[in-house]
Structure 1
Amino acid sequence: MRIQTLDLHFQATPGLIASYLVESAGEYALVETGPGSTLETLRAAIRAAGVAESAIRKVFVTHIHLDHAGSAGWFAQHGATIYCHPSAARHLIDPSRLMDSARMVYGDQMDPLWGPMLPAPADRVIAMQDGQSVTLGDVEVLSWDTPGHARHHHAFVIGDVCFTGDVAGMRLQNTHYLSVPAAPPQFDPGAYVQSVDRLIAANFKTLYLTHFGPVHDVATHLAAYRPRITEIHQRVAAWLVEGTSEAENRARYLAAEHAIALQSGLREEQWQMSEIGNGTAMCADGVRLYCVKGR
């Protein structure tokens, strides 16, 4: 098996969103497609890897957030089969509700950020249950239900490697700051920690983060990431008790994460990259929403 990291250069910035080209016994698949706005970059990267786009017959998406699955419909319309969580399938087949909701959030920035999301033909979308596998060449791709970032989140396992989507966090390459993807509306810290514990117990050799790239120090990474989930939850919950407004919650969250990032050794320009990839304002909103619903 061969795995190649394809950098989608989201917002003209390298090292933020990855798609993975996986080859086994002459069969090719993608794990993650990135947003519609980077489709042409992805297609060019596939060709640069020496692979015909028509050879991509299987596509695995961890969840249907636009930075992970926005281009899945294009591949489905060109003959690939999309594999996803059962709760994600209907949004791949008809992404209109998902796109309308995103447009309400992003407004005029919607198209430059995310681009279009084409509908996938229903017969090209297969929902995978937890523990179900699909053959790719001479390996098996196993789906793992890993909620916490989203209820419809899968990680995909091949042997001793795992494609983690957002469940193992965001870490820029060659840095130590661990950013928790916590966008609304489905952040759930309890489920999130349980999902990370499942990864820890598996003793994977390598994690492939969508944001961004392979992680080889798996035990260290996951041991450091697990408490970060609880940390952001407890922080925002405490602020909510104080009566903090949404705007103040965002400002405090940004300040806290910025300080943690710089303390970890992140440079200011890398912090700005992190904000593009996993904005603190949206994470602050996601954690706050969970806390409000739980009161």
Structure 2
Amino acid sequence: MRVHTLDLQFQNTPGLIAAYLVESGHELALIETGPGSTLPALQQALQLKGFQPKDVRHVLVTHIHLDHAGAAGWWAQQGAQVYCHPSAARHLVDPSRLVDSARRVYAEQMDTLWGAMLPAPEDNVTALADGESIHIGETQITAWDTPGHARHHHAFVMGDACFTGDVAGLRLGPQPYLSVTSAPPQFDPPAYIASVDRLLAAKFSRLYLTHFGEVTEVENHLSGYRRRIEEVHQKVRGWISQGLSAEAIETHYREDEKALATATGLTPKDWQRHEIINSTQMCAAGVRLYVEKNASI
């Protein structure tokens, strides 16, 4: 069994979005598809590994945000079976509501950023419940329900490894800065921490982050990320209690995160890479929305 990291070159920038190709026996599985806009880069990355799209018959997506599953419908239309969370399946079959919602946010940038999200034939979409598995050659891949970033989020477990989607956060390569993936509207800190604790208890030897790459210092990474989730939650809760506006909260959030990133040695160029894939404006909005909806917690 081999795992290949495929860099999707999102916005012509390396190291932001990964898809993972699992090669076992004579079968292939693709974990994450990236957005429709990176489909040509994904096809090219496959070809560089010696494969064609027709060779991939199994596709797994951790959740249906466009940076993770935007191209899933294309793969299903090529005949691949797409596996997802039960709450995600209907949105892959009919992505119109998802696309309309994203277009309201991204407006004229929608097509450039994300490309097309095609509908998947219903027969080519399989929902996996928590603990259900598929086999790729001799390899078993098991879905774990891991809410917190989104309610429809799976991590995929393969032996002592875990493909984490967004549940283990964002760390671009070997850089120490950990960015909390808290996009609205489903960011939920208690659920998030419970999911991270589930990963911690499993004592995986490595994680595969969609954003971005392999992590081998698993306990340190997950423990640090657990602290970061609580940190941003409490900061935003404090700012709201002080009566700060949404705009002021976004400014404070960006300044605090940039200062933290800089203190870890992040360069201005690498900070911009983080803002491309996990903008502080978006993250601040996600945390604020949770706090406003759960003011008594």
Q: Shared topology, TM-score over 0.5?
A: yes
What residue identity is the alignment partner of 1:125? V
Residue 238 of structure 1 is matched in structure 2 by 238
Residue 198 of structure 1 is matched in structure 2 by 198
Q: Secondary structure in 1 aligned to 2:57?
A: strand
1:29 CA drift (Å): 0.8
Matching of residue 167 in structure 1 with residue 180 in structure 2: no
Q: Are the counterparts in 1 of residues 43 and 52 from structure 2 also a CA contact under 8 Å?
A: no
After superposition, residues 30-179 of structure 1 pair within 5 angstroms as 30-179=30-179
1:145 CA drift (Å): 0.3
Residue 224 of structure 2 is matched in structure 1 by 224
How big is each residue's C-alpha offset from its partner over 1:145-170, in whole Å with a ceiling of 9 and x where there is no partner?
00000000000000000000000000
Residue 9 of structure 1 is matched in structure 2 by 9
Residue 188 of structure 1 is matched in structure 2 by 188
1:220 CA drift (Å): 1.0
What residue identity is the alignment partner of 1:284? A
CA distance in 2, matches of 1:265, 1:224: 17
CA distance in 1, matches of 2:207, 2:163: 6
Q: Secondary structure in 1 aligned to 2:149?
A: coil
Q: Percent identity?
A: 61
Q: Secondary structure in 2 aligned to 1:252?
A: helix
What residue identity is the alignment partner of 2:207? L
1:267 CA drift (Å): 1.2
1:53 CA drift (Å): 1.1
1:129 CA drift (Å): 0.2
1:247 CA drift (Å): 0.9
What residue identity is the alignment partner of 2:279? G
What residue identity is the alignment partner of 2:93? I
What residue identity is the alignment partner of 1:11? Q
1:208 CA drift (Å): 0.2
Q: Are the counterparts in 1 of residues 89 and 127 from structure 2 also a CA contact under 8 Å?
A: yes
Q: Secondary structure in 1 aligned to 2:126?
A: strand
1:57 CA drift (Å): 0.3
What residue identity is the alignment partner of 2:54? S
Q: State the TM-score, normalizing by the size of structure 2.
A: 0.99
1:289 CA drift (Å): 0.3
What residue identity is the alignment partner of 1:123? D
How big is each residue's C-alpha offset from its partner over 1:82-128, in whole Å with a ceiling of 9 and x where there is no partner?
00000000000000000000000111111111011000000000000
1:228 CA drift (Å): 0.2
Question: What are structure 1's unaligned runs of at least 5 residues?
Answer: none
Aligned length: 295
CA distance in 1, matches of 2:161, 2:18: 16
What residue identity is the alignment partner of 1:170? L
What residue identity is the alignment partner of 1:128? L
Residue 265 of structure 1 is matched in structure 2 by 265
How big is each residue's C-alpha offset from its partner over 1:212-259, in whole Å with a ceiling of 9 and x where there is no partner?
000011111111111100000000011111111111111110001001
What residue identity is the alignment partner of 2:36? G
1:55 CA drift (Å): 0.9
Q: State the TM-score, normalizing by the size of structure 1.
A: 0.99
What residue identity is the alignment partner of 1:244? L
Residue 207 of structure 1 is matched in structure 2 by 207
Matching of residue 21 in structure 1 with residue 10 in structure 2: no
Mean CA deviation greater in 44-53 or 15-24: 44-53
Residue 252 of structure 1 is matched in structure 2 by 252
Q: Are the counterparts in 1 of residues 92 and 120 from structure 2 also a CA contact under 8 Å?
A: yes
CA distance in 1, matches of 2:102, 2:243: 28
